[in-house]
Structure 1
Amino acid sequence: MPTLLGSSALAQTVAATAPSEAPESKPFSFEILTEWMQMAARGDATPPEQVSGFLTELDYDDYQRIRFDPERVRWTEDGSSVHLNAFHLGWLFKEPVHIHEVVDGQATEMPFSTADFIYDDVEAEIPEDFGLPGVAGFRLMTPINRADKFDEMAAFLGASYFRALGRDTLYGLSARGLAVNTGLPEGEEFPRFNAFWIERPVPGAETVTLYAALRSPSVTGAYKFVLTPGATTTVDVTARLFFREDIGQLGIAPLTSMYLHGGVDQGGFDDFRPSVHDSEALVMNLASGETFVRPLNNPPHLAGSYFTAENPTSFGLVQRNRDFDNYLDAQAHYERRPSLMIEPLGDWGKGMVRLMEIPSDLEGNDNIVAYWIPETPARAGGSMEISYRQHWGLTPPGDGSDDRARILRTRAGKGGVAGVKKETDRRKFVIDFDGALLAELPDAAEVSPSVSVANGEVAEAVLSRIPGTGTWRLVIEAAGEPGATVELKAALTGYGKVLTETWVYQWVKE
């Protein structure tokens, strides 16, 4: 049990941050927040606040034992369809985040104290009923799965990270407010949301609206989020950015996920589970109707792929296989991890989606990053406003083509004929397509593969229909020089049209 300290010991344990009077209400709107962040970008960046006292003494074990008291959950007294609680400061979260409640255009900071949390078996000494200098983040809860139970719908925690859930899903991949110089030699910045303003939901409200202030050495931002829970939960995001410095690479709508092994990339893992990943592919839909599907890798070294586009319809990281037997993990339930598709709103112009894949040997590490890079560079003194809609769920719109055959699976292995000892340095890729018009065609239909390769060669490409099914299988044997990064692309065509999604893959020839 934690030791609860009285007021006499308080000054020796924590800096004097306990509120002495009721928080003051101030006018608030998105326009007011925008003005604040624009003014902040004109001055020097200020270092974030830091916690002190007992909050610096909480280690991993202590932090995992701290729980928000269910009797102290906010917005439970008036029939609100959304409840709120907070994450405690300490351990990795040493920079306070301030949360404000907005009612009728007036914002009041929401105070939190040690009385809001349960500290069972925490070894650090905890001051009694002490006003905390802020929190680490917060959760929003709503009856998303059952009418009688408030489940988590979204959480904002750490830097500018946040996650949301659709019905019947479990937390998996994350989104971020912004990516700055990710993977560049000059080093990445991690912008953070240091303050939120949440409109208090009225009874019967179907959406939650909140705002956030984003701060970083090179950029500030005013953000608006409108969350609509459902089978597929949507989050409408508007970001108004102000650049204090030139930015080498600006990442819009960044996504972060985990891919350890499975499918096309089994790696060298001695694991009873056939697949371990929060996401299995990057999907990008173009205005032309083409859908690119890029299976993810856990590469031997840092890898990057770029997909150029103008006003893409959507892009995102998806988990399309929903069969438990593909994962066999009765605790993690990777088959229930949400897909997340980004739908641009307004004119995004020209740019590219960047996919980064980072080598990893632990499923606790997020090693997949994807985001949009606008063609227009971010320059000091400039600004940008961009809007998009996130779709979180098991089958969000855009997770694959609606009118072309989808890619069911990709598998890979040694090239050559199975069962023959003859060695080859080729790599074999097996791509199965099914659905739409393709599934209705007879075996003798005039369907042909369209295959291209960069930095390597296609030694063989064979297409056939799997007997007794509507599935067509394309087998590609590729070759490349040792150390080469081979880029492959394939789709099935026939009768004057593209019949399938477009498969793209990056193979690092070791």
Structure 2
Amino acid sequence: MSLLGTLAQTATAQTVAAEPATPFSFAALVDRARQTAAQAYVPPEVLSAAFTDLDYDAYRTIQFNEARARWAGPEAFAVLHAYHPGWLFDSTVDLFEIVDGMAVPMDFSARDFRYGGDVEQPLIDGEIFPGVAGFRLNMPLNAPDRFDEVVTFLGASYFRALGKDNRYGLSARGLAVNTATSEAEEFPRFSAFWLTRPAPGDTAVTFYALLESESVAGAYQFTVTPGETTTIDVTSELFFRRDIEQLGIAPLTSMFLFGLNDQGPFDDYRTRVHDSEALIINNAGGETLYRVLNNPQKLANSYFGAQSPRSFGLVQRNRDFESYLDAEAFYERRPSLMIEPVGDWGDGTVRLIEIPTDLETNDNIVAFWIPQNPYGAGSSAKVSYRLHWGMTPPGAQSDLAQITHTLAGAGGVSGVEPSADTRKFVIDFQGGLLAEPIAELLVEARTSIYGGTLVQEVLQRVDGQDATWRLVLEVAADPGAIVEMRANLAEGDRLLTETWVYQWMKN
């Protein structure tokens, strides 16, 4: 959508107050979350059949009418589009605009949407919807004279954002509660948002949200700054109405179907299909863990203890079209997302969950931070962090030599019958300190294998590639074993590379 003056003419009726405006502040929202947690949980009301009877084919033909974009005008920095309620989105969120410290309801009706095909409007013209499914913000991102979608909030507490030249891939969530535990998982939802219209000259958009679930209520503040790397600053205050077995802070959700390390059973012309290829953790002591993702045959878990990490996230490092060969999905343009804690998060664990899937439409990767101390009924927590979305956000690359390939295959000697008893893992390290003049005899591999046996280890500089070293590990394990592996390269006491970590489930 281009920056045209006609937008200002067609978006004059931007906010119609069906309810009176009320005072708003983040402090007041925190108090509301505290009071909400002190009361019994009230589930959201389900929409009428006029909305829920919409099927996938009908819902996807409904588009927001760009001429009705909120905040549009000649000096606009951001415009807001809403998502139509219905189909899977059987409950709604409320949107408010903060005007002079007052929360003014933002109302939407069928006039705000275009209905394709034979889809009928669920309500008559002029009748206000009970809410919307979510919203998105469009801002100048890839060109100064064009509004591109930058961030979208849709479904429960899920949201996604884009940096320059990105296409949507992985998602973030407001909170994860009891994910893959003995307790039933909860999916907290943002029930209402309060948005501040950017003033002329602003370079960011700030808004607020109320989060609710059976066990927790929370007040959130978001500040979105678009750019080559788009950042979202998050401040949250959480209040717990009952004990939580596992609290997941800054949860990420992505997809990994197959890659060079794990081709699986897929007969596909592409060599990689994934929104993210690895989990990265930058520890406070300067070590960078690089964990290539898998699509396991059964649910897999990995836990990485850390004390207030500098950052962690899910990354897509390979940026060449030739790596994916997908002219529709363009996986090479999926954003990496790094979480940068603000303040001291203390001791805790980054948990990685990998779920088996046979479809690239299924998100099967989850990662989040688990604080060491659990939260019980009546307790509270304050958590702040910054999300970095982009091609190469801070923390996604290391000053150390980086891991460029993880390859895996049958063990044994190449060119002869492969070994069914062992598996070979090949790790390439490139750049960074390896580009410096280093005596080859001084570089050594530091390898640890748990749950299996290291049969052979070979380290060599790759001919013609002065800054590339290859480590080959041949590993044996009993059937059904879960093998955890770890390796890096060092020169004496000096760490030269990122630390490769990997999980192998022996069939």
TM-score if structure 1 supplies the norm length? 0.95
| Pair 1:134 & 2:131 matched | yes
Residue of structure 2 in register with 1:56 after alignment: 52
Q: Cα 1:218–1:292, aligned 2, differ >3 Å: closer, same or farther?
A: same
| Pair 1:247 & 2:244 matched | yes
Residue of structure 2 in register with 1:434 after alignment: 430
One of 181, 184, 190 as aligned partner of 2:187: 190
Distance (whole Å) between structure 2 residues aligned to residue 66 and residue 222 of structure 1 = 31
Question: Which string of whole-angstrom CA distances, capped at 9 and with x for unpartnered residues, describes residues 81-106 of structure 1?
Answer: 10001000000001111000012211
| Pair 1:71 & 2:67 matched | yes
One of 107, 114, 132 as aligned partner of 1:111: 107
One of 492, 505, 509 as aligned partner of 2:506: 509
| Pair 1:384 & 2:342 matched | no
Contact 1:78 1:203 in 2 (8 A): no
Distance (whole Å) between structure 2 residues aligned to residue 218 and residue 21 of structure 1 = 32
Residue 263 of structure 1 and its aligned partner are, at CA, apart by 2.0
| Pair 1:329 & 2:335 matched | no
Calculate the aligned-residue CA RMSD, in Å: 1.3
Residue of structure 2 in register with 1:358 after alignment: 355
Residue of structure 1 in register with 2:292 after alignment: 295
Secondary structure, aligned partner of 2:419: coil
Residue 125 of structure 1 and its aligned partner are, at CA, apart by 5.2
The aligned runs of 1:388-399 (5 Å cut-off) are: 388-399=385-396
One of 481, 486, 493 as aligned partner of 1:484: 481
Residue of structure 2 in register with 1:12 after alignment: none
The aligned runs of 1:261-340 (5 Å cut-off) are: 261-340=258-337
Residue 442 of structure 1 and its aligned partner are, at CA, apart by 5.2
- Tell me the amino acid that sits aligned with residue 54 of structure 2: L
Q: Cα 1:78–1:42, aligned 2, differ >3 Å: closer, same or farther?
A: farther
- Tell me the amino acid that sits aligned with residue 489 of structure 1: R
Residue of structure 2 in register with 1:95 after alignment: 91
Residue 363 of structure 1 and its aligned partner are, at CA, apart by 0.3
Residue 422 of structure 1 and its aligned partner are, at CA, apart by 5.3
Gaps of 5+ in 2: 1-14
Secondary structure, aligned partner of 1:145: coil
Contact 2:411 2:418 in 1 (8 A): no
Contact 2:16 2:107 in 1 (8 A): no
Contact 1:58 1:124 in 2 (8 A): no
Contact 1:429 1:475 in 2 (8 A): yes
Contact 1:160 1:176 in 2 (8 A): yes
Distance (whole Å) between structure 2 residues aligned to residue 177 and residue 122 of structure 1 = 36
Residue 239 of structure 1 and its aligned partner are, at CA, apart by 1.1
Residue of structure 2 in register with 1:13 after alignment: none
| Pair 1:456 & 2:452 matched | yes
Distance (whole Å) between structure 2 residues aligned to residue 456 and residue 95 of structure 1 = 49
Question: Which string of whole-angstrom CA distances, capped at 9 and with x for unpartnered residues, describes residues 93-122 of structure 1?
Answer: 011110000122111110000110000214
| Pair 1:45 & 2:59 matched | no
Residue 20 of structure 1 and its aligned partner are, at CA, apart by 10
| Pair 1:474 & 2:467 matched | no
Distance (whole Å) between structure 1 residues aligned to residue 493 and residue 130 of structure 2 = 65
Contact 1:243 1:380 in 2 (8 A): yes
Contact 1:260 1:298 in 2 (8 A): yes
What is the aligned residue count? 491
One of 157, 162, 165 as aligned partner of 2:162: 165
Question: Which string of whole-angstrom CA distances, capped at 9 and with x for unpartnered residues, describes residues 168-213 of structure 1?
Answer: 0000000000000000122100000010000111112101001000
Distance (whole Å) between structure 2 residues aligned to residue 423 and residue 434 of structure 1 = 29
One of 340, 344, 347 as aligned partner of 1:347: 344
Distance (whole Å) between structure 2 residues aligned to residue 236 and residue 442 of structure 1 = 41
One of 216, 219, 225 as aligned partner of 2:216: 219
Distance (whole Å) between structure 2 residues aligned to residue 372 and residue 86 of structure 1 = 31
- Tell me the amino acid that sits aligned with residue 60 of structure 2: Q
Contact 1:283 1:400 in 2 (8 A): no
Gaps of 5+ in 1: 1-18
| Pair 1:81 & 2:74 matched | no
Distance (whole Å) between structure 1 residues aligned to residue 185 and residue 161 of structure 2 = 25
Question: Which string of whole-angstrom CA distances, capped at 9 and with x for unpartnered residues, describes residues 116-153 of structure 1?
Answer: 00002143453331210000000000010011110000
Q: Cα 1:39–1:434, aligned 2, differ >3 Å: closer, same or farther?
A: same
Question: Which string of whole-angstrom CA distances, capped at 9 and with x for unpartnered residues, describes residues 41-83 of structure 1?
Answer: 0110001121114112211111000000111011113512100
Distance (whole Å) between structure 2 residues aligned to residue 365 and residue 45 of structure 1 = 30
Larger displacement relative to structure 2 (257-266 or 115-124): 115-124
Secondary structure, aligned partner of 1:182: coil
Secondary structure, aligned partner of 2:32: helix
Residue 444 of structure 1 and its aligned partner are, at CA, apart by 2.9
Residue 334 of structure 1 and its aligned partner are, at CA, apart by 0.3
Distance (whole Å) between structure 2 residues aligned to residue 174 and residue 136 of structure 1 = 17
Secondary structure, aligned partner of 1:486: strand
Question: Which string of whole-angstrom CA distances, capped at 9 and with x for unpartnered residues, describes residues 436-467 of structure 1?
Answer: 12123357341010000111111111100010
Contact 2:433 2:497 in 1 (8 A): no
Contact 1:54 1:124 in 2 (8 A): no
Larger displacement relative to structure 2 (415-424 or 143-152): 415-424
- Tell me the amino acid that sits aligned with residue 213 of structure 1: L
Contact 2:280 2:291 in 1 (8 A): yes
- Tell me the amino acid that sits aligned with residue 303 of structure 1: A
